[in-house]
Amino acid sequence: MNYFRTGILMAAMTGLFLAIGFLIGGQAGMMMAFLFAAGTNLFAYWNSDKMVLSMYGAREVDDASAPDLVHLVRMLSQNAQLPMPKVFIAENPQPNAFATGRDPEHAAVCVTTGILERLSQEELAGVLAHELSHVKNRDTLIMTITATIAGAISMLANMAFWFGGDRRNNQMGAVGGILIMILAPMAAALVQMAISRTREYEADRMGAIISGRPLWLASALKRISSAAHQVENLDAQANPATAHMFIINPLHGGNLMHLFATHPSTEERVARLEAMAAEMGQAPERGPWS
């Protein structure tokens, strides 16, 4: 992974946050934005798993409440040489999954009830291996902090529109507030997109290695993508800044929330996985997970 590039992108998002604060309230506004950005980052570092999981009403499960799922996560974690993460299920009809946590020792993997109902055991293994790759690459912290700052940028943009900022320092007035409201979320989404797309490709690749079967994940991506276009995820609609954390974009494209469509195309991801399977000499088959 290109962590230098990720650092630049994170700095760009923080810089955008400070710039909006300056436009709203001058130097005082920029200082307030800096303090708020530092506070949200610190909060996200220590509470990223709890924060996101609570947004989706996820409940923790164990060997007694979800034995098959927990067993599968344990096997894949051993393959990935990772500590066993906490396992959660979110009551949501849309098939999807995400991982969160500040490091592998404090990680959590969450799947929806929709994904458990629609995917085979092999396909589910591919998805879980993908999420464990995010944990192994320490993507989860960056993805959660990005979501936190992006949400804060949107909040600042709304404040600029409704309150007009400090007009003694803000020379753009109402027009400037409208421009901030429109452009700031777009810029934040672009930064999210650049971070997320690179990491999704790498998680696909490493997840295929962890599971040993690239075609399991390829099949899962096709099935999830098709269903996600038909089944709404109301929790994700309410928290669009978290969309990049899911394995497939949970938002529908019929409104302004498509600005947060941070994922690469499913077709390109599937094509890469199929090419990887061909290089490994693999054809579609059932594996040892069932």
Give the C-alpha separation, 18 to 62, whole Å: 43
Q: Is position 131 annotated as part of the catalytic site?
A: yes
Please give the helix or strand (H or E) that residue 112 lies within, else none: strand 108-112
Q: Which of 122, 123, 131, 200 is catalytic?
A: 131
- For residue 230, the 8-state DSSP code is T
Residues 6+ apart with CB under 8 A from 279: none
Give the C-alpha distances (Å, rounded to integers) separating 31 from 21, 27, 81, 165.
Answer: 8, 6, 43, 14
In the chain, which ranges are continuous DSSP H helix? 3-55, 67-80, 113-118, 121-136, 139-163, 173-211, 214-228, 234-238, 266-279
C-alpha angle 137/143/149, rounded to 5°?
150
Count CA within 13 A, CB hemisphere, residue 196.
Answer: 27
**H or E stretch at 110:** strand 108-112
d(CA 17, CA 154): 10
Query: Which of 176, 188, 187, 160 lies closest to 32 in space, CA to CA?
Result: 160
Positions marked active-site:
131
